[in-house]
């Protein structure tokens, strides 16, 4: 067994049975492709490396052979490797991933020039409909060159996807590995959420007692992240409104932060709330708000009373602003019986489409047990990792709509 097989699928099966041609060009960022190849394999992919002559001067082909289990294609031979993997054949690659991609290679692809294995693979993939994902990396002055930008636009017009580089001072650096992997999953997976605008509202809230202290909760934000990432993988247009949490959102998800119920209500009231097909509210929102004291409450008191008032019902405001959207709420109680009973009440009270119920046992954990209740009061029961449950929630929505 090759060492690459030992890690295959160790993180997920999202790329299982997917064949990805990893094309490497002569940017110094080629050193990142070892890590990239291994991460693709950890999600199940079979990775076939292709290199330009310039790339072999940055990293040795043996390094990519170790990383992938395949000897890199550095010359095209009588085996017509470009046709075998990216041509009009019975079992072509699922994706041609060019990372990193230099200004030189972008321009050649834009004008149909084939003088390296990578550019020939690109021409063949374009002609046969194999998806292409380009990840540029170069000096910023090269990236900002008008001809390069025109060539990027020319490629995009032909259906080639690009991941924007990370702009840092004088550099247009290669995107991070997680973002490249996420886009690889997106381009090779299900597209049943294509053209769907999806809003995820998750995380916890922090409500001020005074200028120093606050009341919050134990929400980890893991469910919101799982729902946002899953929608992205399934080709949805995703936005995440993310409250107080213990985990940072991935860079490939468009995220707006909020801290309090008041902050969230401002987001709901402005124009950015409109136009969503699906809105999922899995945030752990405060049911009660403290009457804030200006300044800092002095320390050393023997007793302190904090007055709490009921918080506005956020999901009601969301429904008022979005009468046509599919709205999914969450309800947490001590027991499953209580959560189902209260969840059914919320469906009718706020005219929402689905309620996902669970218990407090799931807080902060990677696994959960949920019931999804629809308007007809039909209950769909699932148990497993939150990332898997996110898929099940979308499955139910798409099946019932």
The larger pLDDT score, comparing residue 333 to residue 179, is at 179
The CA distance from 359 to 361, in Å, is: 5
Residue 400 has pLDDT above 70, yes or no: no
Categorize the per-residue pLDDT at 297 as very low, low, confident or very high, splitting at 50, 70 and 90.
confident
358 or 145, which is more confident: 145
86 pLDDT tier (thresholds 50, 70, 90): very high
pLDDT of residue 339: 85
Question: Residue 96 — very low, low, confident or very high, per pLDDT cuts 50/70/90?
Answer: very high
The neighbouring-strand residues paired with 333 are: 359
User: Which tens digits make up the pLDDT trace of 29-85?
Assistant: 999 999 999 999 999 999 999 999 999 999 999 999 999 999 999 999 999 999 999
- Using the predicted structure, report yes or no on whether residue 274 has a pLDDT greater than 80: no
Spatial neighbors of 358 by CB under 8 A, at least 6 apart, are 330, 331, 332, 336, 339, 368, 369, 370, 371
What's the pLDDT at 247? 83
Does 300 reside within a domain? Answer: no
Residue 271's pLDDT is what?
63
For residues 211 and 176, membership in a common domain is answered with no
Are 254 and 113 in a shared domain? no
The tokens for 277 are 């097909």
Q: For residue 101, count other CB atoms closer than 10 A to its CB.
A: 30
Crossing angle (nearest 10°) for helices 103-110 and 146-157? 50
Residues 6+ apart with CB under 8 A from 122: 23, 96, 98, 105, 109, 132
> Which of 188, 210, 229 delimits the end of a domain?
188
Q: What is the pLDDT of residue 390?
A: 95
Residue 335 lies in a domain: yes
pLDDT category at 280 given cuts 50, 70, 90 is: very high
Mean pLDDT over residues 292-309, rounded? Answer: 87
Q: Please give the average per-residue pLDDT across 374-400, as a whole number.
A: 91
Better pLDDT: 263 or 247 = 263
**What confidence category does residue 401 fall into, taking pLDDT thresholds of 50, 70 and 90?**
low
Confidence check: pLDDT of 19 > 70: yes
Out of 157, 188, 219, pick the residue that ends a domain: 188
Query: Are 100 and 143 part of one and the same domain?
Result: yes
- Residue 165 in domain: yes
Specify the higher pLDDT residue, 87 or 335: 87
Q: Is 299 within a domain?
A: no
Average pLDDT of the residues of the chain = 93
pLDDT in tens, 106-141: 999 999 999 999 999 999 999 999 999 999 999 999
Host domain of residue 163: 3-188
Quick one: average pLDDT of 173-201? 97
Q: At 373, give phi and psi (nearest 5°).
A: -110, 130
> Domain ends where: 188, 209, 232?
188
Same domain, yes or no: 213 and 85: no
Lowest mean pLDDT among 12-16, 224-228, 292-296: 292-296
CATH code, domain with 165: 3.40.50.1950
Mean pLDDT on 180-202: 97
294: in domain: no
The answer on pLDDT for 373 being more than 80 is yes
Q: What percent of the chain has pLDDT over 70?
A: 99
d(CA 352, CA 377): 12
The reply to whether 140 and 204 lie within a common domain is: no
The pLDDT value recorded for residue 364 is 67
pLDDT at 211: 87
Question: Which is nearest to 19 in space by CA: 90, 110, 79, 102?
Answer: 90
Q: What are phi and psi of 196, to 5 degrees?
A: -100, 125
Instruction: Taking residues 380-387, report their average pLDDT.
Output: 90
Determine the Cα–Cα distance for residues 261 and 257; give it in Å rounded to an integer.
Answer: 12
**Does 163 share its domain with 217?**
no
Residue 211 CB contacts under 8 Å (≥ 6 apart), including other chains = 294, 295, 296
Residues 109 and 203 grouped into a single domain:
no
Q: In the prediction, which pLDDT does 166 show?
A: 96
What per-residue confidence (pLDDT) applies to 124? 98
Helix (H), strand (E) at residue 47? strand 46-51
Say yes or no to pLDDT of 301 above 90: no
Number of domains in the chain: 2
Task: Give residues with Cβ within 8 angstroms of 260, minimum separation 6.
Answer: 205, 206, 207, 208, 286
């Amino acid at each position: 067994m090759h060492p690459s097989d030992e890690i295959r699928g160790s993180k997920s099966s999202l790329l299982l049975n997917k064949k990805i041609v990893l094309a490497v060009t002569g940017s110094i960022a080629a050193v990142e492709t070892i890590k990239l190849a291994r991460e693709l394999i950890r999600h199940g992919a079979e990775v076939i490396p292709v290199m330009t002559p310039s790339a072999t001067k940055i990293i040795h082909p043996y390094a990519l052979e170790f990383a992938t289990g395949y000897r890199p294609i550095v010359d095209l031979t009588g085996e017509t490797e470009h046709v075998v993997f990216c041509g009009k054949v019975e079992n072509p690659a699922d994706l041609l991933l060019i990372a990193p991609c230099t200004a030189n290679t972008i321009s050649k692809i834009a004008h149909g020039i084939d003088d390296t294995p990578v550019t020939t693979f690109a021409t063949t993939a374009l002609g046969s409909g194999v998806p292409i994902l380009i990840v540029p990396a170069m000096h910023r002055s090269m990236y900002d060159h008008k001809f390069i930008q025109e060539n990027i636009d020319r490629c995009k017009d032909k259906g080639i996807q690009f991941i924007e580089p990370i702009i840092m001072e004088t550099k247009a650096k290669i995107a991070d590995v997680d973002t490249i992997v996420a886009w690889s999953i997106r381009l090779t997976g299900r597209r049943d959420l294509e053209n769907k605008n999806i809003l995820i509202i998750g995380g916890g809230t922090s409500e001020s007692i005074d200028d120093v202290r606050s009341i919050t909760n134990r929400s980890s934000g893991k469910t919101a992240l799982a729902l946002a990432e899953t929608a992205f993988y399934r080709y949805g247009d995703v936005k995440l409104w993310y409250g107080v949490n213990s985990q940072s959102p991935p860079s490939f998800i468009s995220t707006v932060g909020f801290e309090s119920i008041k902050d969230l209500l401002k987001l709901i009231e402005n124009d950015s709330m409109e136009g969503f097909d699906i809105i999922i509210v899995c945030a752990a929102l405060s049911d009660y708000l403290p009457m804030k004291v200006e300044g800092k409450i002095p320390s050393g008191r023997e007793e302190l009373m904090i007055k709490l008032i009921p918080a506005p019902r956020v999901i009601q405001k969301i429904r008022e602003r979005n009468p046509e959207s599919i709205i999914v709420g969450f309800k947490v109680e001590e027991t499953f019986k209580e959560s189902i009973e209260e969840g059914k009440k919320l469906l009718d009270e706020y005219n929402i489409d689905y309620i996902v119920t669970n218990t407090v046992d799931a807080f902060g954990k990677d696994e959960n047990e949920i019931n999804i209740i629809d308007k007809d009061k039909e209950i769909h029961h699932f148990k497993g990792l939150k990332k898997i449950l996110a898929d099940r929630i979308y499955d139910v929505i798409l099946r019932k709509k």
